[in-house]
Structures are given as structure tokens and as C-alpha cells.
A = this chain, B = another copy of it.
Amino acid sequence: MSISTAPPIRRTELPSLSARATAIPPSTIRKLVDVANAAKSRGVHVYHLNIGQPDVPTPPVFFETLRAFKEPVLSYGHSKGHPGLLKAWSEYYGRIGLDVEPSQIQITTGGSEAILYALTLVADPGDNVIVSEPFYTNYRSLAVAAGVVLRGVPAEAQLGYPLPARRLIEDAIDERTRAIMICSPNNPTGTVLTRDEISTVVQIAAQHRLFVISDEVYREFCYEGGHTSIWQFPQVASQAIIVDSISKRFSACGARIGALVSRNADVIDGALRLGQSRLCPATLEQVAAIPLMALDANYYAQLAAEYQGRRDLMCERLSAMPGVAFRKPAGAFYLMATLPVDDADDFCRWMLTDFEHERQTVMMAPAAGFYMTPGAGRREVRIAYVLIQAELDKAMTVLEAGLSAYPGRV
């Protein structure tokens, strides 16, 4: 039959979105994008301290390699990842003291896919994963999409967001807990977990037979000493899953190249089967990432020095602002500050809608979106120091002026 002769359709209501789709939170900063754009259209310059988008140039060898690509057909790559990139990534790990075989790596479409795969591999719908809060907001979205329950255990702001007490973590574990998720250096807090703290996680995971999902994408951004990787703990050799990414360390966020790393053959086989379901990560960026993985220690030293300088400047400026509380973070390029305002969400919006200082303002991420606990982080913001020092310095002057002028100051 054709459409025109089809019988009249009777229906009482349309199908609705799934419950999980409804529960996926919008981006923490999405609601501020429109007001930021409105500020720009009024001629106000907006310093973007709201997202982890570095301004450091992507190493030129990335683009040179892309331009040299000469195959006539942009074909599928291996589902596990480009063999050359697997080898280069393994060699990169070797240079930083982690003994990782190419076979223990699954290349993913960004660290995001590695997180999604890790959650899917360890947890069935309704199972839960423990994470200290505040945490990277997309953990929640990816967990909800995968049907996995995240259980936040609060880290203390006043102490600089260290690992929560072992007792608190263990209190959150139940029979459906499948993993502990850590992120060091941390987004959003900048905290670098000490070897002792990671050792505590290892002991809990070993005792309770949990996986440890360790997000180490900011590994190279440590300013007070070396980085401790979950890979260094043989007690959880089969339980450790590293989430990695080229985005931050090579300023290549738009490449969408990450990795999931594990010594557990079941995990790696499962990750490959997940990888086969989406065929492959982008072919060109994998090829172009190979020479990035070969960059030497000088590159990372320069990178860390650049961000350390920014951090120090930020902390100096924030320290001089009355009522602003924070602890100097040891890594990543984020800082959580408690502001002398009644509501950081309102303040961040006000900065964009009602305030300007010499035709400039600042955009920050209100911290509530990094917490599970309702009401938590109400006076905190996450500040990403992803601008050169001269720009950061001006942004801090604008923030200081904004805090002075804000009617909701407490």
C-alpha cells in the first residue's frame, strides 16, 4: 500500500527518550556559552579560563605528517589501533619507566572512549564505580550512558582535595561495586596523588577485588615531583586499567586519539571487541600521532615549565584576592578556588552578563557540575590556566575587579 491509502493511524502519545538519556547532564559550561557569546557581541573580550583547551601550539610534526599522507583511499585502520602508533606508544611508556607492550594497548577515540570502554568492561548496568568528588564532569555523562552508577566520595577542599580517607572509600563499597576510578593529576582539582595515596587505592582494590581505572592523561603536568602510575603496582597488575590521551600533552584535543592500557588479557580482548564495534579510530590522526609519541624529555620539560609558570602566577594573583581560598595544586592545568560569593554559578554568569573591566571579562566553570552531591561546590569555581602568562595576568586583574564589584559578595 502507499502512504495515501494507509489506514488512519491511532496513537495516544509519542515514545519518550530513555530514562538514562534524560539523566545525562548537560555540559557544566553549556549554559554559560550563550551569555559569553552575547558579551563578545557587545565588544567585551572574554578570557576563557573555563575549558581545558590549551593555547600551546600542536607540535608542527603532527601537521607535517598529515600533509605527507599520500594514500588515495582513506581506509579503515585496525580496530585495535594503527600498529605504528601502538609501537610508538609502547616506546613512549618505556621512556617514562612504564613497561607496556603494544599488545597491552587499545587505541581509542580520545580518552573519552577509553573511559566509556573501561566502565563498560568492568560494570554491568546497575553496577557502581567509586570516584572521589569533585571529578571530571564527563565521568558522570559516560557512566549514565553506560548504565553505570558513579558513587562520589568527597575530597576535602580545605586540604587541597587529597584522596578521601580509606574508611570513607570502603564505606561506599557494596556488592555491586566494580571499580575505583582515580585521576592524577586531577581534573578539576589539579591534585597529584602521592605514592602513598595510590598505594591505599591499590590495597583497597586488592582487598575488595575491584578494578582500578586510572585516568593519567595529565601525567606530564606534575610540578612538585614525579608522577606515580597505577602501572607501578604489581599487586593490581590484572586489575589496573590506564586511561590515556594525546590531547593535553600535545595540544591536540581535536585529534581524538586516546588509549586504554591493561595487563589483563580479558580486558584488552574486551576492549578490542568494543573497538571492532566502531571499526577504528580516525586513521589520519593515528598516523600523525606517531612522531608525537617520539618527542623527547625536553619537550615535556618545556611544557611543564610553561604551565608551572602559569600556575605560579595564578596562585600569586589569587592569594592577593581577599576572601579567595585555594591550595596550590601540584599538577594538571586546573585550580579549584572557593570564592567570597554566595553562589559561584550566579557569579560566573554575572561576570558575563553584567560586568566588564576595561572591556574585558573572565569565563570560569562553576564547580557544582563537578560534584555528585547536591549543593556541593556552590562557592567554588574551576579555573583552567590555559592562556599565556600576560593574558592570565590580565584575566586575574579582571577577576579581582569583578569580585570587588559583585553584589552577591559574602
Residues of A near any B CB (own CB < 8 A): 1-3, 6-7, 9-22, 24-27, 30, 51, 53-58, 62-63, 66-67, 69, 72-77, 79, 109-110, 112-113, 116, 120-127, 138, 141-142, 145-147, 178-179, 195-196, 199-200, 202-203, 206-207, 209-211, 233, 235, 238-239, 251-256, 264, 266-267, 270, 272-274, 276-285
Contact partners of A238 in chain B: CB under 8 A: 14
Contact partners of A233 in chain B: CB under 8 A: 3
Are A178 and B15 in touch, CB under 8 angstroms?
A: yes
Report Cα–Cα, A55/B116, bound state, in Å: 32
Contact partners of A67 in chain B: CB under 8 A: 66-67
Are A141 and B274 in touch, CB under 8 angstroms?
A: yes
Report Cα–Cα, A283/B253, bound state, in Å: 9
Point out which of A74, A75, A209, A238 has the most chain B C-beta atoms below 10 A from its C-beta.
Answer: A74
Report Cα–Cα, A109/B274, bound state, in Å: 14
Interchain CB contact (< 8 A) of A24 among B57, B112, B274, B285: B274
Are B75 and A203 in touch, CB under 8 angstroms?
A: no
Contact partners of A66 in chain B: CB under 8 A: 66-67, 69, 284
Interchain CB contact (< 8 A) of A270 among B17, B276, B280: B17
Are B278 and A112 in touch, CB under 8 angstroms?
A: yes
Are A207 and B11 in touch, CB under 8 angstroms?
A: yes
Q: Distance in Å from the Cβ of A31 to the closest Cβ of chain B?
A: 12
Q: Distance in Å from the Cβ of A389 to the closest Cβ of chain B?
A: 17
Are A112 and B279 in touch, CB under 8 angstroms?
A: yes
Contact partners of A282 in chain B: CB under 8 A: 109, 254-256, 282, 285
Interchain CB contact (< 8 A) of A252 among B18, B74, B239: B74
